[in-house]
Amino acid sequence: MPLGTEFYIKEGMISNDLRNVDTNKDGKLDHFYFSIWNQKLHAKEPLGNIRKITLRIDGEEIEPNRIYFVVRDQWFCIEQLPSISDVWWMLREEAQIYVKQDGGIKSGIHNVEIIMENQAFPFYSKGIRPAPTLNLQSEMRTV
Amino acid sequence: MKATISVGMWSLKQYSLKGTKTFDEILETVAEINPDKHIDLMEDYVPCHSQTDMYELLQLKKRIESFGLVINSNWFYTDLIGRVHIQGFEYVVNDLKEYVIVVAALGAKFMNTPLDSALLPGMMYEEAYGLYIKIYEEIIPFAEEHNVIIGIDTGLSEEWCSPITALKLVKDIGSDYLTTTPDFEAWRTPTEDMPGVFIETPGSEEKTEALPLDVFKECLPYSPLMHAKFLTFDENGEEPNYPIAEMMALIKQSNREHTFVIEYEGWIPDINPHLDPAVETKKGIDLLKRYLG
């Protein structure tokens, strides 16, 4: 296992774009999303290793039940992620973070902060070990 | 003592993570820098998890061989204790058997899997050790049937995970198909610049001392494969983080054949991410060649 404190290569890990979408094709925007690439040093892993995702848009925290992790067109509400052991996120594979929001997100530049707690080794002699945390931030433009 | 040098994909993984080289370009790089033409794949590059794709696996083998490279070993990680706790003994054994099949299909000689697995809260060493013995007793006949040698990879780890435990397991099982894969990391003395903390295990006690060289010497007869972890090189091409000269002197006295898998790790964000991993990996190859003569 690698030494150090950072378990990912930060540069290029999230996109600079926010995209509004009409996922159910009813003519109304209902979600917006951005992309995230798996640049963790030990990249290939089950989604369950992602124990928690916190997302803030312009400083406001989004409720977990509105956030979806989408990989290979499979949608997972982030509250379910820790229990997923049979779907893997591959080395530098692109996934998307979707946020449910009627009307999408307002055009312009938004500050996006995503914090991902990742835990491959949950146990140790003292109990449950603290999770290494990935913290990404970007000014994203709607397109 | 006959020695072969292999390049672990870990050494060049920064290219994949940053998207600066394709897999084929990385293979081309390995073929250029390693005169021995051996390569080691880690699971990130193998079509397994959660379902192994046999067609993709055979295509991968052909693709690697088309660069004149030989697949020496594969590396897979399973937290054996945690996995047994969560999914059960049979599940874990079947998982390991699948890895053996993957290695056999790729035509590689070794399957490496780290010892790293923390004791559950309240679990005693003896219980964990007994579980490992039980797992290997199930796996070894299968590995033998498919002519795959299992290497227990151990570096500077935590709690009970060290080459000492791996060595004890190998001696107790007593099969040529279960070997130790000592990582040079176990003989590194952490410094202020490079402390003994690891990304995946925050909160653990920091390691402050390298293992005695006697342990390295004791591992040699059981270590056809070794992980030559390199972190930095000085202006003379020496690796200042390990007692390399002493380790290589012991290796030269060894009676068995060894393959050294170079795991250059200086590319990680905490060390020297700005350096070209291929150039640094080549320094590792040159260092080993220089010492091995």
Determine the structural domain holding residue B196 and report its residue range.
3-292
pTM of this structure: 0.93
Q: Give contacts of A44 with chain B, Cβ < 8 Å.
A: 43-44, 49
Determine the pLDDT at residue B193: 80
What distances in angstroms separate CA B263 from CA A26, A82, A125, one per listed residue?
53, 31, 29
Determine the pLDDT at residue A132: 81
Question: If you write DSSP's letter for every residue of B163-204 in order, what string do you get?
Answer: HHHHHHHHHHH--TTEEEEEBGGGGPPP-SSS-B-BTT-TTS
What CATH number corresponds to the domain at position B205?
A: 3.20.20.150
**Residue range B64-68: average pLDDT?**
98
**Residue range B127-135: average pLDDT?**
96
Q: Do A41 and B13 touch (CB under 8 A)?
A: yes
Determine the pLDDT at residue B98: 95
Q: Do B200 and A120 touch (CB under 8 A)?
A: yes
Determine the pLDDT at residue B190: 82
State yes or no: pLDDT of B206 exceeds 80.
no
Q: B129 and chain A: CB distance < 8 Å anywhere?
A: no
Give A141 to chain B, closest Cα distance, Å: 22
| Number of domains observed in the structure of chain B | 1
Q: Do A122 and B269 touch (CB under 8 A)?
A: no
What is the maximal distance between C-alpha atoms in chain B?
51
Q: What interhelical angle do B125-145 and B163-173 show, nearest 10?
A: 60
Q: DSSP letter at B220?
A: G
Give A125 to chain B, closest Cα distance, Å: 5
| Number of domains observed in the structure of chain A | 1
- Asked if residue A2 belongs to a domain, the reply is no
Tens digit of each residue's pLDDT, chain A (143 residues): 677 777 899 999 999 999 999 999 999 999 999 999 999 998 999 999 999 999 999 999 999 999 999 999 999 999 999 999 889 999 999 999 999 999 999 999 999 999 999 876 666 666 677 778 889 999 999 99
**Predicted ipTM of the assembly:** 0.91
Backbone dihedral region of B147: left (phi > 0), alpha (psi from -120 to 50 degrees) or beta? Answer: left
What is the maximal distance between C-alpha atoms in chain A?
54
- Asked if residue A1 belongs to a domain, the reply is no
Q: Which residue of A has its CA nearest to B86?
A: A85
Q: Do A9 and B273 touch (CB under 8 A)?
A: yes
Give the residue with greater pLDDT, B5 vs B161: B5
Question: Which residue of B50, B197, B199 is in closest CB contact with A86?
Answer: B50
Determine the pLDDT at residue B262: 98
Determine the structural domain holding residue A70 and report its residue range.
17-142
Determine the pLDDT at residue A122: 65
Size of interface A-B (CB pairs under 8 A): 125
Determine the pLDDT at residue B204: 62
- Asked if residue A6 belongs to a domain, the reply is no
